[in-house]
Structures are given as structure tokens and as C-alpha cells.
């Protein structure tokens, strides 16, 4: 028994889920699943009405919650302290930098004690200054008052500043309700759009709102046009996506001339455009979908500017196309592809284009003057950091806005003059309880992978922490969908670091830290490279004396939870504990069930085990749930959300049940299910701290540190 196991001593017996033999087909294969009963037959209903969960499943999940609470009972005071100190780092009366739009500047603001923001505005005077008076457009706290869970999705004011459309989710299921408020009266119109995604775009004349309808399987399937004051049941469907593997997104070009309808899976996209000024909307396809062709569209002047991987541009390039003939045959290279430099995002202004790139796990911003192609890179000197493009409504302006932070440096918002190449600091994230960035060390390391590749690792620790091999370390990873975890600032992780932890982010394959090839090298049948990289990172950190075997806490969420489950099966001895947040661990069963919300769009990422025997074999070989065995598993904390449409609650529930049955002498295995929340956990800026406190208290306890 490792030391971390000896510190857990629950006073009640662990729930033992009943085994109910069940066999189902996946292509030519038969899969036995004794815990399949934990998947409610009425799961669609449960997504929107959690009280509909069958009694036997509810009883089991509540028993798991009680066992988790009991096992962590001695951390209750610690959890309260963690919440208090994390909350003390949050400015309670915080306000975003206002975004100018015509006669107003809009912003989000928080009042002291509030969980949710206000959407507000101030009059923009002709001299560019803002009036003192603040007008509240929308108060999310008032909207949330009657609900156990509340998420304010998109908020979009109309171009004439008369209305605001807003999307709310009160279950965590990501089925949004859309309402439209008259800003002057503060009253909502009778219009009520249901079963929606959160995407919202106004027509130029403010008479219509474009939105996306979700079907019963929670898939965004139709782009609809709602005319204000008319029956939503008669909304015009402008586009319906017939392929179950493609989802829809709705957005607008930087100049707001075109509305964009994008259909995509993880490897292919297709964009249709709609003139925002058109009284009777007609969609035009930029380029018909081609397998493995991705492209993303913006517009300025008389041209479309398209970010794409066309013509073998694995790390993407930017091309232009005339607005009257935007087909692929007319695409002309503007910014050629450069291997190893992943073009991530581009944004247009009347005279400039800004693009966000990543090289060797570090982002960079490039400003290009459209008239002559002159390019300027915004200089950043830190060793590990994060950059982001911030939203602006202005198009005819020499100013762009970006955010910067590092693992030790709180976020800063800058306005950047693209002609003078000067930056103006608009806001620095305030830490009311105090913060000295110089008290922390930020490092970027390279670990050697099993096949010789170099794996970037970002590190944060307090300068007083001894680096002598005795220190506990939390190793965070994700490694899927090309998503790269940024080396950004977090007020939460300071609570671990200040208690002597080293915090490490492994930029493993499956993300795009080192370009698109870094992603494809751990996709489909190559997925195990993600897990090998994480293990290699752990061993490298041990070799460098940042920690030692048995003192590493592995952590990941969603697809990062798959990573945690897989490495526990492969190298459980390395870890003193593991945190799997809403973990995607039942990969084989989920990828065999095309009725689940995300399964068809996920086949390009993981493979389709029903149709491809190689995909079946690959997934079956690493799926955490299917590979549980008698192993020395460390203590585990898994979390779930009952209404989660992305990783269904039964995945971690089944996984914990099988772990407890197959390896009862290891663990313990703790499961905490939020019975009124989805993929993101508890809602609200302070309530959400409770989940982090639970996770960190578990990590501190597993590491054998003081619980005081």
C-alpha cells in the first residue's frame, strides 16, 4: 500500500453497484457490460428534467456522493479555507474593459457578492470619453434567482442598440432558451425560442435574429431566422445539416457584413455566407465540403480572407478570395503555410489583419498591414505565457486588443496601435488578497518521449519550494482535438502552489503545441502516444528531482479524464493520486452508440468501432473502462454532472464501479456527481470554487500534506 492510500480511511462501506449482465453488439463484436443499467433509458428526458432519473440510479449516485463526502470528511475545514482564499483573490466588483460600438460602450460587470454578471453599457461621447452613468442592460443574477443551476450563454445587442438577445441554460444540458429584451423598458418580448444552441446573430435591420435549433439528441441541426414579434414555431429554416457527424456554428465577419454558417466535424468544414443586409436571406456556399479540408472565413473590403489547410498546408495558411467569386478555384495564398508554425486564428480590420500563431507551445501575435503586407510581431519576453485576441466591435480602427498572462503573472488587457506599434495597458487582473509574481518560478522544460520526440512541459512553483525530489507535483494534461492547454494565470492553482506543490502542464501529443502534426500523431489508432507522452513527462520530472514516484497527482478533465484513466492502467505505480473531472472513460461503448449527442461527430477523432475493425481494436486496447484489471491503482477522485451532454454521467459511475469490483484492495475510488449541473460543474463564479476546493483537498490529502 502506497502512503497516499493509508491516509484515506472512510468510516462507511463503499457502494457496490449491482451487476446486471448485459450484452450489446458493436459491428461484428459482442460487448458485455455489467453496469450498463446505470445508463438511464430516459437519458434524454433526464438532460432537461433531472428529477426524471430512475430511482435505482439516483440511489446509487447519492450513495457514491455520501461515500466521497465521508472519505474526505477530515478535509471539510481545508475545503472551506481553500474556497475562502481563492475567493479572496477575486475582485468582487470587477468590470471588463468596455467595448465601443457606435454611441455606446458595452461591458460585463460583477457586483460584490454576485455569482453572475451584469451586461451593461455607458454612453460614448463624441470626444471618445465615456459618460459616468451606467445602464444595466441585463442582470444575470435576477435571471438565475429561481434556478439551482444557471448559465448565461451568448448575449447580443442589436445594431440599433434597442434590443438585447440572450441565451440561458438552467439545467446544464446545453439546451438554451433564447429571449429578447427591450432595453428601454427592461421587459422581455413575448418571443421565446427553445431547444437552442447559444449562438446569436442579428440581421442588419434588427428585425430578425438568427439562431440554431438543437434536435432531441442535443445536436445543433438547423439555422433558423426569427422575425421579432412572430410565432417562433413558424421560424424559417435557412439551413439544415443532414449529416449526423456535422455540427453547426453561427458567427459574423469582422466587418459585420456577412453572417457565417459553419458546418464541421473534427476534420472537415463547410461555410455558407449570408448577407446581413439582405431582406430575404439567401445562403451561398464558399466551398463545398471535402474530406479533411478545413477552412474559416472572414471578410474585409472586397475579399474574403480564409484560414485553411488546403493544398497540404498542414499547419494552415491564409488565402484571399474575391467576394463575388469565393470558390476554392479562386483562392490565392496571402500568408503561406510554415511547418511547425500553427496558424490558429485571424481577425480583420479595415486596414489590418491580426493572426494568432503557435510555435513550440508558445503563442505569438502578428499584425499585417493590408495595403503593403508589412508585418510586425508583438514582442513577448516571458518563458511560458498565454496570449489571446480580445473582442472588439470596431472595424475601421487602427487599434486591436489582446490579453496576456503567464503562470505567475495575472492577466493584462492591452490596446495595441497597429500603425504606431505601441501598446496601452487597459486593465491588470486585480488580486485583492495580494500577489507577487516574483515569488514564483515559471519554467519551460522538454521531456524525451518514448520515441525520441521532445515534449514541452510548463512548470509553476513557489520560489521557496525545495526542488530535491521530495515535493508533491500535480501533473495536468489533456491531449485531444488539437486543443493546447495555455500557460495562463489561474487564481485557483496558487492554493496548491502556496502549499508546496509543483504545478506542471504536459503539452502532450493530441494537442497542437508543436503544430498540427503533434495532433495527428496521437489521433485515431495513434491515440496511445498521448498516454505515453504523459508517462514520459512524469518520469522526466522525477529524473529532474521536481518530485518522486508516488507523489505525482495526475489530473485531467473530459478527454483529459480519458488520459488519466489510461495512464492509471499503464503505469499506476507512478502516481500518488488521480483526479478525473467529468472523464471520458467509457470510450468503446460511447463510440458504438450513435444516439448519444457527440458520438457521430467524434468518429473522425477516435474512429468508428462499429464500421472499422482497426478502430475497434485500438479503442478496446486503451479504453479505461474496458481495461480495468487487478492493479495497484492510487486513490482516485472522479466527478460527473447528471445533465452533462458531452460526457454522460454514467461513464465515471460505471468506471468507478468496475474499479471497485476488479481492484478492491487499491484505491479508494471516490465519485462525486453534481445532481443539478452539466459538463462545467457548479455554475457561478464563487460556487464553482467548491469543486476546485474538493479536487485540491483530495490532492493535498493524497500527497500526505497538512490538512490545516
C-alpha cell at 659: 474499479
DSSP string, 540-582: HHHHTTS--TT-EEEEEETHHHHHHHHHHHH-GGGEEEEEEES
Catalytic residue among 558, 623, 626, 683: 558
Given a contact cutoff of 8 angstroms between Cβ atoms, the answer to whether 166 and 193 are in contact is no
| H or E element that contains 375 | strand 375-377
- What are the backbone dihedrals phi and psi of residue 540, each rounded to the nearest 5 degrees, phi first? -65, -40
Choose among 506, 508, 514, 478: nearest CA to 362. 514
C-alpha cell at 325: 467569386
C-alpha cell at 286: 464558399
Is 157 labeled as catalytic in the residue annotation? no
17: which DSSP letter?
Answer: P
Catalytic residue among 94, 151, 533, 644: 644
Report the alpha-carbon distance of residue 283 to residue 281 in Å, rounded.
Answer: 7
Report the alpha-carbon distance of residue 512 to residue 669 in Å, rounded.
Answer: 32
Is 435 labeled as catalytic in the residue annotation? no
Examine residue 668 and say whether the peptide bond preceding it is cis (omega within 30 degrees of 0). Answer: yes
H helical segments located in 450-511: 494-497
Report the alpha-carbon distance of residue 370 to residue 297 in Å, rounded.
Answer: 16
Choose among 486, 559, 570: nearest CA to 531. 570
| 3-class secondary structure, 625 | helix
Distance of CA 439 to the CA centre of its chain: 29
Report the alpha-carbon distance of residue 137 to residue 695 in Å, rounded.
Answer: 36
Judged on CB neighbours under 10 Å (0-12, 13-18, 19+), 95 is middle
Report the alpha-carbon distance of residue 118 to residue 143 in Å, rounded.
Answer: 11
393: which DSSP letter?
Answer: -
Strand partners, 109: 95, 118
Given a contact cutoff of 8 angstroms between Cβ atoms, the answer to whether 500 and 705 are in contact is yes
Given a contact cutoff of 8 angstroms between Cβ atoms, the answer to whether 97 and 399 are in contact is no
Strands 352-359 and 341-348: antiparallel
Report the alpha-carbon distance of residue 464 to residue 441 in Å, rounded.
Answer: 9
| H or E element that contains 66 | helix 55-71
Is 644 labeled as catalytic in the residue annotation? yes
Report the alpha-carbon distance of residue 552 to residue 535 in Å, rounded.
Answer: 11
Report the alpha-carbon distance of residue 235 to residue 572 in Å, rounded.
Answer: 54
Report the alpha-carbon distance of residue 615 to residue 613 in Å, rounded.
Answer: 5
C-alpha cell at 135: 445602464
Report the alpha-carbon distance of residue 270 to residue 296 in Å, rounded.
Answer: 9
Provide the 10 A C-beta neighbour count for residue 6.
Answer: 10
Report the alpha-carbon distance of residue 289 to residue 328 in Å, rounded.
Answer: 11
Active site amino acids: 558, 644, 679
Amino acid at each position: 500500500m502506497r502512503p497516499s492510500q493509508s491516509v484515506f480511511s472512510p468510516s462507511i462501506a463503499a457502494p457496490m453497484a449491482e451487476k446486471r449482465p448485459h450484452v450489446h453488439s458493436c459491428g461484428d463484436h459482442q460487448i458485455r457490460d455489467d453496469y450498463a443499467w446505470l445508463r438511464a433509458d430516459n437519458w434524454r428526458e433526464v438532460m432537461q428534467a433531472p428529477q426524471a432519473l430512475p430511482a435505482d440510479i439516483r440511489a446509487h449516485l447519492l450513495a457514491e456522493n455520501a461515500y466521497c463526502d465521508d472519505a474526505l470528511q477530515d478535509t471539510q475545514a481545508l475545503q472551506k479555507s481553500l474556497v475562502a482564499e481563492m475567493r479572496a483573490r477575486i475582485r468582487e466588483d470587477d468590470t471588463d474593459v468596455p467595448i465601443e460600438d457606435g454611441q455606446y460602450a458595452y461591458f460585463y460587470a460583477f457586483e460584490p457578492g454576485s455569482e453572475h454578471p451584469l451586461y451593461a453599457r455607458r454612453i460614448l461621447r463624441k470626444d471618445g470619453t465615456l459618460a459616468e452613468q451606467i445602464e444595466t442592460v441585463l442582470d444575470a443574477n435576477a435571471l438565475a434567482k429561481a434556478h439551482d443551476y444557471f448559465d448565461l450563454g451568448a448575449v447580443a445587442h442589436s445594431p440599433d442598440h434597442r434590443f438585447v438577445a440572450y441565451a440561458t441554460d438552467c439545467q446544464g444540458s446545453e439546451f438554451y432558451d433564447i429571449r429578447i429584451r427591450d432595453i428601454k423598458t427592461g421587459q422581455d418580448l413575448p418571443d421565446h425560442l427553445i431547444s437552442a444552441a447559444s449562438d446569436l446573430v442579428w440581421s442588419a435591420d434588427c428585425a430578425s435574429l438568427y439562431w440554431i435549433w438543437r434536435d432531441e439528441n442535443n445536436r445543433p441541426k438547423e439555422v433558423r431566422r426569427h422575425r421579432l414579434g412572430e410565432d417562433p414555431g413558424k421560424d424559417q429554416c435557412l439551413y439544415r445539416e443532414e449529416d449526423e457527424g456535422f455540427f453547426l456554428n453561427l458567427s459574423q465577419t469582422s466587418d459585420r457584413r456577412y453572417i457565417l454558417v459553419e458546418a464541421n466535424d473534427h476534420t472537415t468544414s463547410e461555410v455558407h455566407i449570408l448577407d446581413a443586409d439582405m431582406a430575404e436571406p439567401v445562403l451561398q456556399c464558399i466551398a463545398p465540403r471535402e474530406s479533411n479540408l478545413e477552412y474559416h472565413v472572414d471578410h474585409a473590403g472586397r475579399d474574403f480572407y480564409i484560414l485553411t489547410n488546403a493544398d497540404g498546408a498542414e499547419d494552415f495558411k491564409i488565402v484571399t478570395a474575391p467576394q463575388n467569386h469565393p470558390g476554392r478555384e479562386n483562392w490565392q495564398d496571402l500568408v503561406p503555410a510554415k511547418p511547425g508554425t500553427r496558424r490558429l486564428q485571424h481577425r480583420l480590420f479595415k486596414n489590418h489583419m491580426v493572426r494568432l500563431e503557435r510555435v513550440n507551445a508558445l503563442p505569438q501575435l502578428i499584425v499585417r498591414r493590408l495595403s503593403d503586407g508589412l508585418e510586425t510581431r508583438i514582442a513577448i519576453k516571458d518563458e511560458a505565457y498565454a496570449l489571446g485576441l480580445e473582442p472588439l466591435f470596431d472595424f475601421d480602427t487602427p487599434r486591436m486588443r489582446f490579453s496576456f498572462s503567464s503562470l505567475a503573472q495575472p492577466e493584462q488587457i492591452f490596446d495595441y496601435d497597429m500603425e504606431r506599434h505601441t501598446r496601452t495597458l487597459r486593465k491588470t487582473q486585480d488580486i485583492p488578497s495580494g500577489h507577487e509574481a516574483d515569488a514564483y518560478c515559471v519554467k519551460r522544460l522538454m521531456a524525451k518521449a518514448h520515441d525520441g520526440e521532445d515534449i514541452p512541459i510548463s512548470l509553476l512553483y513557489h520560489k521557496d519550494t525545495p526542488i530535491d525530489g521530495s515535493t508533491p507535483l500535480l501533473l495536468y494534461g489533456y491531449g485531444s482535438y488539437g486543443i493546447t492547454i495555455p500557460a495562463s494565470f489561474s487564481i485557483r492553482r496558487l492554493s496548491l502552489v502556496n502549499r508546496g506543490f509543483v504545478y506542471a502542464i504536459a503539452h502532450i501529443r493530441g494537442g497542437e503545441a508543436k503544430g498540427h502534426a503533434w495532433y495527428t500523431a496521437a489521433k485515431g489508432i495513434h491515440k496511445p502516444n498521448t498516454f505515453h507522452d504523459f508517462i514520459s513527462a512524469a518520469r522526466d520530472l522525477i529524473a529532474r528531482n521536481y518530485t518522486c514516484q508516488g507523489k505525482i497527482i495526475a489530473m485531467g478533465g473530459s478527454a483529459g479524464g480519458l488520459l488519466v484513466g489510461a495512464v492509471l492502467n499503464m503505469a499506476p505505480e507512478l502516481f500518488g493520486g488521480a483526479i478525473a473531472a467529468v472523464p471520458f472513460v467509457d470510450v468503446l461503448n460511447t463510440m458504438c452508440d450513435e444516439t448519444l449527442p457527440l458520438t457521430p461527430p467524434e468518429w473522425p477523432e477516435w474512429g468508428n468501432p462499429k464500421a472499422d475493425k482497426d478502430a475497434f481494436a485500438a479503442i478496446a486496447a486503451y479504453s479505461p473502462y474496458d481495461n480495468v484489471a487487478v492493479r495497484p491503482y492510487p486513490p482516485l477522485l472522479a466527478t460527473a454532472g447528471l445533465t452533462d451532454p458531452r460526457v454522460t454521467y454514467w461513464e465515471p459511475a460505471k468506471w468507478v464501479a468496475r474499479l471497485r469490483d476488479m481492484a478492491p484492495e487499491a484505491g479508494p475510488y471516490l465519485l462525486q456527481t453534481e445532481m443539478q449541473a452539466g459538463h462545467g460543474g457548479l455554475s457561478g463564479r464563487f460556487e464553482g470554487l467548491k469543486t476546485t476546493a474538493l479536487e485540491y483537498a483530495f490532492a493535498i490529502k493524497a500527497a500526505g500534506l497538512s490538512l490545516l
